[in-house]
């Protein structure tokens, strides 16, 4: 009662303050002194008066907002102390479940200033906006002569008289960390020989240059070479002969990779380089990813790189940029108001990064200057004219021929500096090849440089040699915008290398591993954070001697395995079957180790008496939530055996926001009730565990508990075996067999009603929304939001794409469908199972190749505002088919839809009728949405898949693809190793309050805060770890609450990562704290969302964030910690702009 009084008083206080403030506002606006100063009735002065008034109102609103925020905070504090448990649901006479109102008020307190960002409007518009470029181009694929996809290039012989051509030939070897062979096989067969020859051959002539990018290979080689060789490498790097470009663990795919993993592999590579060679990369090199995301230039820029290079871009865009001399540009983020994200980017103009396509427009001529193809070797020139060794007799003629190509290529760029890569996949693996290329080219250079009348200066160079010469010519320092060069925004998806061969299949290829990638990523982030916190607390207590520091090397190994999988033939699903298995084994090995690290950290942190902590590797204190027997198995959840004494559970919430979640646990008895650690009963729902459509697994039950989980914290729960469980409410099941004669195996504890025939359409609802389903198919038909009359049609259906009958068929890379999709037609009607209960209700439809579950949570807050959708797909008996899930709505989205890039930002897309169907698919690592002025429908995903909107109001996603043939891109295999794969989604329908057409036409869009948090809930599930059964009574446990304040809800702790000590298997005293402030759109926020959310204009006090720990030091650094930014100050208050990611080097203890 006392609490209720306090809340009432505070509520009244808020109301009074609000009314009084509004009164004051109106009062001040009426007595506005500026009114008397405006002379005459000029409209302009009236406008300025209005503007002044609006500004004053905004300021007053801001002040008012701050007052209310303070009062809300105090109310929150009051209610937090008397939190109580979530109350128990009850059944109403009309048969639906009702949850009592939340004991805690929910706030959405977003400052008006924080809403300005999404409205944009600052900054100049770019010269090249990729959406506009797409609308402009004809995509007519005309024959361009020797440069098939381009045009004839001409020049005047005297063009270089005033300013000679400066040519940098850049030798490189592209090493895939797994593709046709596994990572290790490539290393032993080729890569080690390339690097060994490199050390030898580079020392023979100081004019030689070489670049290397994949640190995964380089570090493996480094571990196997002598100190003498290491010193030689350091010398070569030091004198500029060898350059490490990009410096990531791999050259990542940019379509399917998530920004956490992209950053993590970049940090892993950069930290390795700094520690072992003492070098910081300056230029980015990405010749092989299949299309490019604008997230990458942002990450490289924030890592202090000043230039970057890309190659696999749609041939029509290359041609257009070549014709307008726009192949070099400043790449800027769409949301950047002040050009702080600009990075210089070089786009290669021709078909490939091999030698025939890099010296100039004519591959027949360029191939003659690839001296690995000299007659008698293992490879030759397909154009039938072989290279000739350079001699005194032929050097003049050969040099002249090559110079003609150099000059033609240089006409496509704005400067008189030319970049000519010289290399290909796994090149330079034999000393003979080093000699053939370097000696012959040096003869050509010597000849060209000795002839002043040719006006050319040619030499070997690194990538940064080229960029530096360019900057110098332009008279600017690296990183600045060269005068006259264009600014570009947008991305380079989707990629086609010729004809209508769009590389849009790999957005979905091997979805099982795309999903496993994200499971590993979520576990890595959770393990990093929990390990860092446990270690800091142990060190503070002087107990780090007893803590398993050795977990650090497992953590380091998991970073490297996740990093390896970001490679552009790994997460893409475009490697050979045996290589995919090798990746899978690595991912699973690390997943198992990460669960162990989380268990060790959780064990230490939940002990009531941490001094009693003892680490016993043979007998872990907690049991993992699930296990996977093999690299291609779906997880099998742990069943908790109930006993006379209570079983304890520790639940880890990896989110930086507190969450109210339904936590599922499998138990061996229906007689169960769940208590909090203080012994309070918690609301829970008992349901069956199904082995198939009609079989309940005997003696296994699911109990789902509604629990409030602390941010980044651990909550202790108790499971009791009890025969009078009032708090555990049973769910009821209706099973519709659709005329199929199937035996049903029931359990007496769970009521099941079997209906042999089909049902009418039916609906499920909670306090936020109602979802209606087709009785025949069991699939979703519509969603109606609470308080709205109209229901929104959201009907789902499964479709099948075939592939062409002609010679070019779909494969691992390419999507080449035989026309529009046809409805999926299974041989039997589905079995539809409807489960209804107090905490969630769900509809499960069993089809021959896909089992789909749509679940509606009946809980306040984030979980109850969207539909949980999962599809268990098995198409192992399909031949040349792709299975798609399409949602059709009456949202008037026209030809516009939105997809995310790497889970980091949103890129608007347009369905282009002038392009083939497959060209309109895009990567969807985290979300896609369609909208009109009234509504937005977002499909959130827990794994990267290909997505499109092929008609107004539609959104469709490709779930899996099974293809019997190679698509002629070098793999030499189809996709036949499909697994049973579970794809997980959340479907969120939001009302748009203040949309307008002008705003929607801009090439920029943001999710709402609710949408961001929904995505986090989907991607960072709570981990449930039972305390291992012991004969002795377990020690006293208490929940662990690491944060002392609530983080603003637009802040995301991307990682808290212990840095390595001198001995790289141990952690140092420092950690990297990586924060991301999300950009969000306020026009979608509805009232009564039931989750607490406050923003703070990007301000955060880090000093007092971690409860029971002190922040010893705080140094802002570049993204990958290579450069300190500013001086380490004593202040621990930081500020971040929206969308920015910032890294801090910190000491916790």
CA nearest to 961, candidates 1037, 1073, 883: 883
CA distance 167 to 369: 15
* CA R_g for the chain: 31
Query: Other CB atoms closer than 10 Å to residue 257's CB: what's the count?
Result: 32
Residue 1007: Cβ within 10 Å count: 28
Q: Outline where 982-1109 has alpha helix (H).
A: 997-1000, 1009-1019
- The DSSP string of 319-362 is HHHHHTT-SEEEE--TT-SSSTT-EEEEE--SS-SSGGGTSSS-
Question: CA-to-CA distance for 95 and 731, rounded, in angstroms?
Answer: 12
- DSSP letter, residue 733: E
Look up tokens 């409860």; give the residue: 1107
- φ, ψ (nearest 5 deg) of residue 732: -110, 150
Question: Using the 8-state DSSP alphabet, how is residue 189 labeled?
Answer: I
**Cα distance between residue 796 and residue 774, in whole Å:** 10
The two tokens of residue 1011 are 């949408």
- State the DSSP code for 639: E
- In contact, 705 and 753? CB cutoff 8 Å: no
Q: What are phi and psi of 749, to 5 degrees?
A: -70, -20
Six token digits for residue 995: 């949309």
Q: Checking DSSP bridges between strand 639-640 and strand 626-627, what pairing results, if any? A: unpaired
What DSSP designation does 1083 have?
G
Q: φ, ψ for residue 407 (rounded to 5)?
A: -65, -40
CA angle 727, 731, 734 (to 5 degrees): 170
Check: CB of residue 694 under 8 Å from CB of residue 736: no
Query: Which stretches within 1006-1148 are classed as H helix?
Result: 1009-1019
Alpha helices (H) along 974-1123? 997-1000, 1009-1019
Residue 244: closest CA among 179, 291, 198, 296: 198
Burial 203-227, CB ≥16 within 10 A → b, else e? eeeeebbbbbbbbbbbbbbbeeeee
Who contacts 501 (Cβ-Cβ below 8 Å, separation ≥6)?
Answer: 808, 814, 816, 967
* Rounded Cα distance, 643 and 894, in Å: 59
**CA of residue 593 relative to chain centroid, distance:** 23
Active site residue 288: yes
| H helices present in 120-254, as ranges | 130-136, 183-186, 192-202, 215-223, 227-238
Q: Do 918 and 500 form a contact (C-beta atoms < 8 A)?
A: yes
Report the C-alpha gap between 146 and 149 in whole angstroms: 9
CA distance 313 to 607: 55
CB atoms within 10 A of CB 879: 11
- Rounded CA-CA distance 284/290 in Å is 16
Q: Which two tokens stand for residue 510?
A: 């091997």
926, exposed or middle or buried, with CB in 10 Å at 0-12, 13-18, 19+? buried
Which candidate in 176, 253, 288, 429 is catalytic? Answer: 288
Dig out the tokens for 400 from the structure.
């002249």
- Tell me the C-alpha to C-alpha distance, in Å, between residue 1064 and each of 138, 205, 550: 54, 35, 11
Catalytic positions:
288
């Amino acid at each position: 009662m006392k609490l209720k009084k306090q809340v009432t008083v505070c509520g009244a206080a808020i109301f009074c303050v609000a009314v009084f403030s509004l009164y004051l506002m109106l009062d001040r606006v009426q007595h506005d002194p500026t009114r008397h100063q405006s002379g005459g009735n000029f409209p302009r002065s009236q406008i300025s008066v209005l503007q002044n008034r609006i500004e004053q109102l905004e300021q007053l609103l801001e002040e008012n907002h701050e007052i209310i925020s303070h009062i809300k905070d105090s109310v929150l504090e009051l209610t937090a102390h008397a939190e109580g448990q979530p109350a128990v649901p009850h059944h109403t006479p009309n048969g639906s479940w009702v949850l009592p109102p939340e004991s805690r008020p929910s706030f959405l307190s977003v400052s008006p200033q924080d809403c300005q960002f999404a409205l944009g409007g600052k900054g100049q518009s770019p010269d090249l906006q990729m959406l506009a470029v797409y609308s402009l181009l004809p995509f007519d694929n005309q024959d361009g002569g020797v440069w098939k996809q381009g045009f004839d290039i001409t020049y005047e012989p005297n063009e270089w008289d005033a300013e000679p051509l400066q040519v940098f030939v850049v030798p490189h070897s592209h090493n895939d960390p797994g593709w046709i062979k596994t990572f290790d096989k490539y290393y032993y067969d080729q890569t080690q020989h390339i690097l060994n020859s490199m050390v030898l051959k580079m020392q023979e002539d100081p004019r030689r240059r070489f670049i290397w990018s994949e640190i995964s290979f380089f570090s493996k080689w480094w571990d196997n070479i002598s100190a003498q060789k290491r010193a030689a490498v350091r010398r070569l790097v030091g004198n500029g002969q060898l350059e490490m470009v990009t410096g990531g663990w791999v050259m990542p795919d940019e379509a399917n990779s998530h920004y956490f993993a992209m950053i993590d592999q970049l940090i892993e590579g950069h930290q390795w380089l700094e520690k072992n060679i003492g070098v910081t990369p300056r230029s980015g090199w990405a010749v092989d990813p299949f299309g490019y995301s604008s997230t990458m230039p942002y990450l490289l820029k924030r890592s202090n790189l000043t230039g970057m290079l890309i190659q696999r871009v749609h041939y029509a865009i290359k041609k257009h940029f070549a014709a307008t001399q726009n192949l070099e540009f400043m790449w800027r983020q769409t949301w950047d108001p002040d050009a702080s994200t600009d990075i210089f980017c070089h786009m290669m103009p021709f078909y490939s990064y091999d030698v025939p396509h890099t010296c100039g427009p004519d591959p027949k001529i360029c191939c003659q200057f690839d001296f690995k193809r000299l007659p008698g070797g293992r490879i030759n020139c397909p154009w039938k004219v072989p290279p000739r060794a350079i001699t005194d007799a032929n050097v003049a003629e050969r040099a002249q021929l090559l110079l003609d190509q150099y000059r033609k290529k240089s006409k496509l760029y704005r400067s008189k500096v030319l970049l000519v890569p010289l290399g290909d996949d796994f090149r330079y693996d034999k000393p003979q090849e080093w000699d053939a290329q370097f000696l012959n080219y040096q003869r050509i250079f010597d000849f060209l440089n000795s002839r002043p009348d040719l006006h050319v200066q040619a030499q070997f160079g690194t990538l940064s040699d080229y960029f530096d010469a360019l900057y110098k010519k332009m008279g600017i320092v690296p990183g600045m915008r060269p005068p006259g060069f264009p600014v570009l925004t947008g991305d380079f998806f989707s990629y086609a290398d010729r004809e209508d061969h769009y590389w849009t299949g790999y957005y979905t290829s091997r979805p099982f591993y795309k999903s496993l990638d994200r499971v590993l990523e979520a576990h890595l982030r959770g393990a990093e954070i929990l390990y860092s916190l446990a270690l800091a607390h142990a060190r503070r207590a002087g107990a780090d001697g007893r803590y398993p520091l050795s977990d650090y090397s497992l953590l380091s190994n998991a970073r490297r395995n996740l990093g390896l999988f970001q490679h552009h033939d790994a997460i893409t699903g475009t490697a050979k079957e045996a290589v995919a298995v090798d990746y899978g084994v690595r991912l699973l090995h690390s997943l198992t180790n990460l669960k162990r690290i989380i268990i060790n950290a959780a064990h230490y942190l939940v002990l009531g008496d941490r001094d009693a902590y003892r680490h016993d590797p043979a007998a872990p204190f907690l049991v993992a939530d699930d296990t996977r027997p093999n690299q291609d198995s779906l997880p099998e959840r742990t069943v908790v055996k109930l006993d006379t004494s209570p079983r304890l559970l520790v639940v880890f919430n990896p989110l930086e926001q507190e969450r109210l979640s339904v936590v599922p646990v499998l138990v061996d008895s229906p007689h169960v009730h769940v208590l909090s650690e203080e012994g309070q009963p918690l609301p829970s729902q008992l349901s069956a565990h199904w082995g198939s459509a009609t079989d309940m697994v005997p003696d296994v039950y699911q109990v789902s508990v509604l629990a409030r989980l602390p941010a980044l914290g651990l909550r202790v729960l108790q499971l009791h075996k009890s025969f009078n469980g009032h708090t555990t409410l049973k769910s009821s099941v209706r099973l519709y067999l659709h005329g199929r004669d199937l035996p049903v195996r029931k359990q007496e504890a769970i009521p099941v009603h079997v209906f042999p025939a089909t049902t009418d359409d039916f609906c499920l609802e909670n306090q936020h929304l109602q979802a209606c389903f087709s009785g025949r198919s069991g699939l979703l038909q519509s969603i109606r939001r609470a308080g709205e009359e109209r229901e929104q049609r959201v009907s789902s259906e499964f479709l099948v794409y075939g592939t062409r009958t002609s010679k070019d068929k779909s494969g691992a890379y390419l999507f080449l469908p035989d026309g529009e999709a046809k409805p999926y037609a299974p041989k039997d009607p589905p079995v539809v199972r409807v489960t209804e209960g107090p905490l969630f209700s769900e509809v499960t439809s069993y089809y021959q190749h896909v089992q789909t579950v749509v679940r509606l949570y009946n809980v306040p807050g984030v979980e109850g505002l969207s539909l949980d959708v999962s599809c268990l797909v098995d198409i192992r008996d399909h031949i040349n088919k792709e299975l798609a899930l399409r949602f059709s709505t009456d949202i008037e989205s026209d030809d516009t839809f939105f997809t995310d890039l790497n889970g980091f930002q949103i890129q608007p897309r347009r369905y282009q009728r002038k392009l083939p169907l497959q060209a309109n698919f895009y990567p969807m690592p985290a979300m896609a949405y369609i909208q009109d002025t009234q509504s937005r429908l977002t499909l959130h995903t827990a794994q990267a898949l290909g997505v499109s909107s092929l008609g107004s109001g539609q959104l469709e996603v490709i779930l899996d693809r099974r293809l019997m043939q190679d698509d002629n891109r070098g793999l030499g295999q189809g996709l036949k190793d499909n697994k049973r794969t579970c794809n997980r989604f959340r479907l969120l329908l939001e009302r748009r309050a203040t949309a307008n057409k002008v705003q929607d036409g801009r090439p920029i869009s943001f999710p709402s805060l609710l949408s961001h948090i929904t995505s986090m809930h989907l991607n960072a599930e709570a981990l449930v770890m039972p305390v291992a059964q012991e004969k002795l009574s377990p020690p006293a446990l208490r929940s662990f609450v690491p944060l002392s304040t609530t983080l603003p809800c637009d802040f995301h702790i991307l990682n808290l990562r212990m840095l390595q000590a001198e001995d790289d298997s141990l952690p140092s005293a420092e950690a990297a704290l990586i924060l991301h402030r999300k950009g969000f759109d306020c026009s979608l926020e509805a009232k009564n969302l039931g989750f607490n959310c406050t923003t703070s204009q990007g301000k955060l006090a880090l000093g007092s964030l971690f409860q029971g720990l002190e922040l010893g030091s705080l140094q802002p650094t570049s993204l990958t910690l290579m450069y300190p930014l500013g001086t380490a100050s004593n202040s621990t208050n930081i500020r971040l702009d929206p969308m920015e990611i910032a890294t801090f080097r910190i000491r916790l203890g």
